[in-house]
Structure 1
Amino acid sequence: MEKEVSKTGSVLIAVLWSLFLLTALALVINASITPQLTLAASLRDRMALRYLAEAGVQRSLLELRSDETEEYDALNNPWADNDEAFKEIFLTDIGYFSVEHEIAGEGEEGGKRYGLIDEERKININTAPVDVLTGLFVNAGEVSDQEAEEIAESIGDWRDGDDEAMDNGAENNYYQGLGAPYACKNANFDVLEELLLVKGVTQGIFDRVKGYVTVYGEGAVNINTADEAVLQWLGIGDDLAKKIVDYRNGGDGQGATEDDNALESAQSLIPDLSARLSLSAEDIEKLTSAQNAGLLGVRSDFYRGESYGRFQDREAAVKIIFVVNRDETIHFWKEM
């Protein structure tokens, strides 16, 4: 009898040890597998969000393709401000895309517009004259006249093809003398962030001006889409810039609405404005000077978008920043 009890006890102990070892093994496997499952779920979600964001890019191309105003572009075109095409477009029960960007001047918090930004509403740092760049950095960059002139001339030296510095600029000798030396490019800017390599441009200055400048296009600023401030910095003056924007905004006084007015021809820009606005001889002189310098146009060819893929019930999102042109070539792509 005692032998049977002993045998039964031994079996029980063996079973208990087996259960303990199996439990320990299960815990180890769980500890190993759980992070992998979490990672797999995270990757799956990110892939889904990426596809949603990419759908926003494709919708942007579709809207550009369907734009019927081939000779000119304005803020009431379907690519510019179009909730129906760009705001929270659901592709599944749980996910959607939005193509959106922040705009200033609408209440204390600013506002949001659903659509694309044409790059030609901005000042092109590859082509803009030094005096235009100086005005930009004084006003938007919030630096002194002397600092702005130094930055503007340094930009001119960075993009030109020679090694001869302007009076207040910087060429290869300056950059090679830095603690961490590098070469002056002597060619056009490819991305805006190159500005941070130019003498005098700090991160703070860059952050203040980046929304007003571009590296895309031929250099003419679209008079139908440019901010009032940008028009001022082109040298046409505060009063004339306001007149143009007021005319563009139409009867309701708001931009990007159905009643907006647009200038349709770069060749007849001054006669068209003269017929619609009360222009002084000085206004016409300023417009003529800007147009002769190649600073004014009515058409845009490059567009920047920020497409977000989001879930309805979660904070997770994927953001794609992209730049495309009219022939649907992708010139810039960044996923975040």
Structure 2
Amino acid sequence: MAVDYVEFGDYVLDNETESNTTTAGLLNFSSSQSSLTPVLVAVNILISVFGLGGNSLVIWICGWKMKRTVITTWYISLAISDFLFCVFLPLDIFYMVTSHWPFGLILCKLTSSALFLNMYSSVFLLVLISADRCVMILFPVWSHNHRTVEKALGAVVLMWVCSALLTLPSLLFRQITVHGSVTQCYTDYMSHSKHKAVALTRFICGFLIPFLMIVLCCSVLGVKMRNLTIKSKKPYKVMVALILSFFFCWVPYHTFVLLELDLMNHSLEVLQTGLKVGATMAAANSFISPVLYVFIGNDFKQILKRSLTSKIKEAMEDDFRTGGLNQSRSRSIEIM
């Protein structure tokens, strides 16, 4: 019996599953509410709220308040990726609570794909950020002459295309099924070999290879920075924090996905629980980035303070002007 990874409390069917258990039985098992569900729902609600708010703030600050540079281009793209995921997260939360999917097939496909699009785009952007920092240190003259915002935008577009292509299995295999008054959103790979191929592709392309590339870049950076005098190490601290947070959030998910491929030797209940927790930890990565910018990035923090201060000042001045205008009108009416 093989039940694929739980994508936010979801389940997957393949031919091997159907040969060992009935579809109805699997649906009843997957839709049963565990004691862990309320906790996961609460955590996901917080992720959705803070993720939407925090990433909107990053897009606003980096896109309109800071000078457009290669670094801000990377961070805006990362924030957009996290923001798009958080937009679809409330639908997953509703599904976790009700075990009913009333949103149709298209949103079923898009909501599932949002997690993996975020995974690929985030890790590819982290590779770009690491490689960019590495090039700046190793080839400073070349970097100064050729490192432009236009080329960074081109790299970002290519990154999004690759991420979208690797996310296609979620769009192709995601289906809905109706059982009485309940509609379920699930993934049907039709064969265990397809299920295994997709799982391994996600692990290798979305985790293992990027991880090795980032470790290589960070190792080179670490060695070179010992021999260089750098005015501020804040940008490198932000980069390292982003990388560590991504891998900390995604390691549990990928671990249980690989364990799930050998389901016969593991407890189905343990895997279901582990995958639900792993998916929630993966989702948490989407709101951690804005927190890191605020607490580690000096430039971002200062510009945020100035922007918020100016907005509050403008609002107070508007209130003052409006109040003064209303008082003038009231006096005019009294005189008349």
TM-score (norm 2): 0.24
Rg larger for: 1
Bigger relative contact order, structure 1 or 2 (CA pairs below 8 A, ≥6 apart): 2
Say which structure is richer in helix: 2
TM-score (norm 1): 0.24
Say which structure is richer in strand: 1
